[in-house]
Amino acid sequence: MSERDGTAVKGAELHKAYGGVLALDDATFSAAPGEVHALVGENGAGKSTMIKSLAGVIRPDRGRVLIGGEEVRLRSPQDALRRGVATVFQELTLLDRMTVAENLMFGREPRGVGRLIRRRDLPAAAEKVLTEHGVDSVDPGELVENLPLHQQQLVEIVRAVIQQPKVLILDEPTSALARREVEWLFGLVRRLRDEGTCVVFTSHRWSEVTDLADRITVFRNGTDVGTHDELSEEDAVSLMTRREVSTAYSQPEQGPERAVVLQAEDLAAPGLHGVALALHAGEILGIGGLEGQGQQELFHALFGLTPTTGQLEVRGKAKHLRSPRDAIRAGIAFIPQDRKSEGLLLSMAVRENLTLPILGQVAAAGVLRPSTERTTAEGMIEQLHIDARWPGQPVGTLSGGNQQKVLLGRWLLADSQILLLYDVTRGVDVATKQDLYSLIIELAGEGRGILFYSSDTDELAHLCHRVLVLREGQIAQELDGPGIPTEDIIGAAFKEETHA
């Protein structure tokens, strides 16, 4: 097969340097029409940089980009789109202050007489597009900034698909999606593939890669180290890391202590109805259920982010958390899902992101002195294997997974006794996930109470002493672990529906 027939998109011998960082180092990647091609590798391996080069977002320093076998010089994402390449980027790009309909229908608005845009028809047109693509959970009239992350992700995906691209590139599309939405996406991708579309995607979840991909290309340190039709997880991991990394789950060996560090009675907020729970010192308490059953509301309530009713006790003392500041004072830390809007100052240094936002509170409490800021930050960079060239590197220039680690590290430095971890392994590579699991077990072993939500049911099953499954804002079932069968967690999440 000639190159023209065989490749839908290709980056050949690409180089891209950012200051001293070589993001792409002679990297080649190519994908064919009618295949699903997974691009995998550790955080910082260069996957997104390759994708941005193919999508016209950045211009590589050297090398060639080919679309449909033809060499191109892409000037912008629109340029790439005109040539049939549509991309959903890792960091979402919808316009926050515009509605779903406006974002979705931009450039394809319904028009009336004289080709005037009929604004009034926009929501209906958007609704039609969403429904045609099997998305009924999103209100087209809603502002994007009011949508939860997983719904924004759905809108981004639909927006790319309706361009009817020859090449669809999805950079970590599933990391924010609920299980059912992942199934929806996989159905969509398979259909497009069968129609001849070339689909490229990245994921840090191996089960998704083996489920969906016809071929797999592994990146390491800015370059490709092999393309395979079949690859075991062990082989993939050793290609990615060049190290022996166990993919077996670790489990806490120690049980929780008797002391309760956080107790809620009849806790209620919008989307949350009368929740009672007790978190013990040394306990990893999992929160499960389908996406959007009140998990985020629960975490927000426990961090003083939403007005709540009911009783809350922190280490035996009644508390009313009016703001995150109250929660932090009470020794509670919250690590949220969306690092862009809820956490990091992207233009500031890794070091400052680790220490500054909490410095006021913690310095006052005598926990962390500014003189120790630097060494503390450096210790955390090492402990979490944060891939920063130097502690002064701006966080916005780190790869996605490394940004997530900075967010976690910040709260670990505050020495909070109660950690609310909300989907913290999202977008984190397989080796780093193992680091995080060990770290979480270790933190619990030191007597911290950890509330742990994950969209990855396997993590809940293995890591947690107990799991509370939420349904419609209430605790539907409590399961005892560690080592809960995954089917039990899924079964509890769905029970209501099978009865209905």
Ligand X SMILES: Nc1ncnc2c1ncn2[C@@H]1O[C@H](COP(=O)(O)OP(=O)(O)OP(=O)(O)O)[C@@H](O)[C@H]1O
- Taking the least distance from each CB to ligand X, the nearer of 256 and 400 is 400
Applying CB under 5 A, the residues found at the interface with Mg ion are: 47-48, 90, 400
CA distances from 82 to 76, 329, 382 (A): 10, 53, 44
**Residue from 99, 107, 88 nearest 139 by CA:** 99
Element holding 480 (H helix, E strand): strand 474-480
- Residue 241 or 397: the one with the smaller Cβ distance to ligand X is 397
- Residue pair 415/367 in contact by the 8 Å Cβ criterion: yes
Neighbours of 320 (CB within 10 A): 9
C-alpha span between 134 and 154 (Å, rounded): 10
Interacting residue with ligand X among 8, 9, 14, 23 (CB under 6 A): 23
Distance CA 128, CA 182 (A): 21
CB of 483 to ligand X, least distance (A): 29
DSSP result, 410-452: HHHHTT-SEEEEESTTTT--HHHHHHHHHHHHHHHHTT-EEEE
Question: Does residue 11 belong to the site contacting ligand X (CB under 6 A)?
Answer: no
DSSP state of 74: -
Q: Is 18 in the site for ligand X (CB under 6 A)?
A: yes
Q: Return the closest-CA partner of residue 10 out of 71, 60, 101, 80.
A: 71
Closest CA relative to residue 458, chosen from 269, 258, 233, 265: 233
- Which of the ranges 41-49, 67-75, 262-270, 472-480 carries the binding residues for ligand X, by CB under 6 A? 41-49
CB nearer to ligand X: give 210 or 397.
397
Q: Residue 397: name its binding partner from Mg ion, ligand X, none (Cβ under 5 to 8 Å by kind).
A: ligand X
State the CB neighbour count (10 A cutoff) for residue 59: 12
DSSP lists the bridge partners of residue 216 as 38, 228
Long-range CB pairs of 343-349 (<8 Å, 24+ gap) are 343/407, 343/410, 344/395, 344/396, 344/403, 344/406, 344/407, 345/395, 346/394, 346/395, 346/396, 347/394, 347/395, 347/396, 348/394, 348/395, 349/391, 349/392, 349/393, 349/394, 349/395
The listed partner (Mg ion, ligand X, none) that binds 439, CB under 5 to 8 Å by sort, is none
Q: Could you tell me how far CA 260 lies from the centroid of its own chain?
A: 31
7, 30, 49, 454: residue in contact with ligand X (rule CB under 6 A)? 49
**Minimum distance from residue 169 beta carbon to Mg ion (Å):** 12
The minimum distance between CB 399 and ligand X, in angstroms, equals 3
Q: Per-residue x/- marks for ligand X, 82-101, CB under 6 A?
A: --------x-----------
Establish if 406 lies at the interface with ligand X (CB under 6 A): no
Stretch that binds ligand X, among 15-23, 93-101, 342-350, 448-456 (CB under 6 A): 15-23
Q: How far is the CB of 4 from Mg ion (least distance, A)?
A: 29
**Which range of residues in 42-50, 67-75, 94-102, 262-270 is near ligand X by CB under 6 A?**
42-50
Nearer CB in complex with Mg ion: 10/47: 47
Give min distance, CB of 276 to ligand X, in A: 38
The tally of CA atoms less than 13 A away on the side-chain side of residue 323 is 1
Instruction: Kindly state the helix (H) or strand (E) to which residue 376 belongs, with its residue range.
Output: helix 373-383
The Cα 270–Cα 288 span in angstroms is 19
Among Mg ion, ligand X, none, what binds residue 87 when CB lies within 5 to 8 Å by partner kind? none
Identified binder of ligand X from the candidate list 45, 105, 236, 412, rule CB under 6 A: 45
Residues with Cβ within 8 Å of residue 107, at least 6 apart in sequence? none
23/16 Cα distance (integer angstroms) = 6
* Residue from 10, 27, 41, 457 in contact with ligand X (CB under 6 A): 41
Closer residue to ligand X (CB): 177 or 359: 177
Number of residues that bind ligand X (CB under 6 A): 20
Q: Does 390 bind ligand X (CB under 6 A)?
A: no
Q: Say whether residue 400 binds ligand X (CB under 6 A).
A: yes
Q: Which of 210, 247, 361, 397 binds ligand X (CB under 6 A)?
A: 397
289 contact, one of Mg ion, ligand X, none, CB 5-8 Å limit per kind: none
**Which residue is at the shortest CB distance from Mg ion?**
48
Residue 36 touching ligand X (CB under 6 A): no
As given in the structure block, the two tokens for residue 254 are 């120690």
Selected binder of ligand X within 12, 13, 21, 477 (CB under 6 A): 21
| Chosen from ligand X, Mg ion, none, partner binding at 44 (C-beta under 5 to 8 Å by type) | ligand X
Which among Mg ion, ligand X, none contacts residue 49 (Cβ within 5 to 8 A by kind)?
A: ligand X
* Interaction site with ligand X (CB under 6 A): 18, 21, 23, 41, 43-49, 90, 387, 397-402, 429
